[in-house]
Amino acid sequence: MLSNRVSLLLVTAITPMLWGTTYLVTTELLPPHRPLLAALLRALPAGLLLIAITRTLPRGSWWWRSLVLGTLNIGAFNALLFIGAYRLPGGVAATVGAIQPLLVALLSTGLLGQRLSLRTVLTAIAGVFGVGMLVLRANAQLDTWGVLAALGGAVVMALGVVLSKCWTSPAPLLATTGWQLVAGGVVLLPVAFLVEGAPPAFTLQNIAGYTYLTIIGSAVAYALWFRGLRELSPTDVTFLGLLSPVTATTLGWLVLDQRLTTAQAIGGLIVLAALISAQVRRRTRPVSPAPVLVAAGERS
C-alpha cells in the first residue's frame, strides 16, 4: 500500500495538472484578450460556491488573514501572471515562474525554520532549466516589465504558500479555500473592469469554459492544493507546480497537434526527474545514544 505521504502527494499533484489545462480551455473556449476576466470568473464564483456549501464565515483574525492569503495566492498572483503573459512569450513567463520552488524553500528557511539543503537548491535550478527547455523558444524576446511581473507573481505566490503553512485555519478546508477565492476575486474585480472594461456577451462555448475553470480549475483544484499545504511541507507542494507546464505542453501535443521537439521531450524528463528528486526523502542514520558517565561514588 502507498504511504500516507505518497498518497497526499499524488492527490495534491492533481492541482497543477488541472491548472495545466487552463491554456487549452482559454484558447479553445474563452473569448480572446480577456485574461483578467478569466481570472476573476474562476475565483469569485468558486469562492462564493464554497462558502454557500459550508455556510461558514471567517472569525476574528481570519478576516484579515483571508484577505492577505487570497490576495497573495489568487488576486495579486493572477494579475501579475497575466501581465507577464501579455508582455512576454509564454515560454519566458513559464520559465521565470518556475523559480517558485526555490523562493518557497528560501522563505521556509526564514519563516518556518526549515533547513535549506544543497539538494533542494540544485533540484530547483534543474526544474527551471527543464521548464526552459520544455517551453522556451529561441526567438523569445524579453520585456523588462513583463519579466518583473512574472517574477513578482512567483514571489507573491511563494509568500502566500509559506504563510498558508504558518496560518492554519480552524475552519473546514472548503470554507478556508472559499474565503481566499472570494478575497482574491474581490481584489481582481476593479482591476479587471479598469483594464478590460465590461465583459462581452458570452456564447455557450464561453460559458462552458468559464464553468470548467470555476468548478474544476478553482473550487476543486484550490481545495486539493490547500489540503496538501496543510499536511505537507510547502517546498514539497510547490515542486509539484512544475507539472503545470508539462501538462500544458502534453495537451498541446495531443489535442492541438502541436509539434513536440527532442529538446522539449528532454526538458520534460528533466522536470519530472527534478520533481521526483524533490519528493524523495533522504534516510538519516540513527544517532547512537551518548555514553552515560557515572560518577565514581554511584558505582556499585
Q: pLDDT digits over 69-128, tens only?
A: 999 999 998 888 777 766 766 567 777 778 899 999 999 998 888 888 888 899 999 998
* Spatial contact of 246 and 19, defined as CB atoms under 8 Å apart: no
Percent of the chain topping pLDDT 70: 88
Instruction: Find the mean pLDDT for residues 192-218.
Output: 93
* Spatial contact of 215 and 21, defined as CB atoms under 8 Å apart: no
Percent of the chain topping pLDDT 90: 46
Q: How many other β-carbons are positioned within 10 Å of the β-carbon of residue 136?
A: 18
226-272 pLDDT, tens digit per residue, is 999 999 999 999 999 889 888 888 888 888 777 888 888 898 899 99
The reported pLDDT for the residue numbered 300 is 39
Q: Which comes out higher in pLDDT, residue 29 or 289?
A: 29
The reported pLDDT for the residue numbered 88 is 67
Per the structure block, which three cell numbers stand in for 101?
520552488
Instruction: Find the mean pLDDT for residues 166-187.
Output: 93
Phi, psi of 223 (to 5 degrees): -60, -45
* Spatial contact of 127 and 245, defined as CB atoms under 8 Å apart: no
The C-alpha atoms of residue 99 and residue 158 are separated, in whole angstroms, by: 9
Q: Which DSSP string do the residues of 175-215 spell out, in sequence order?
A: HHHHHHHHHHHHHHHHHHHHHH-S--PPPHHHHHHHHHHHI
Q: How many other β-carbons are positioned within 10 Å of the β-carbon of residue 137?
A: 10
Per the structure block, which three cell numbers stand in for 98?
518556475
Confidence of residue 142 (pLDDT cuts 50, 70, 90): low
Average pLDDT score over the chain: 85
H helical segments located in 20-59 = 22-29, 35-54
Q: What is the pTM of this model?
A: 0.85
Q: What is the dihedral of CA 124, 130, 131, 132, to 10 degrees?
A: 110
Instruction: Find the mean pLDDT for residues 58-75.
Output: 94
Q: Which residues contact 139 (CB under 8 A, 6 or more apart)?
A: none
The reported pLDDT for the residue numbered 216 is 95
The C-alpha atoms of residue 226 and residue 212 are separated, in whole angstroms, by: 19
In the predicted model, is pLDDT for residue 10 greater than 50?
yes
* Spatial contact of 154 and 139, defined as CB atoms under 8 Å apart: no
Per the structure block, which three cell numbers stand in for 76?
495579486
* Spatial contact of 274 and 126, defined as CB atoms under 8 Å apart: yes
Q: Which comes out higher in pLDDT, residue 264 or 214?
A: 214
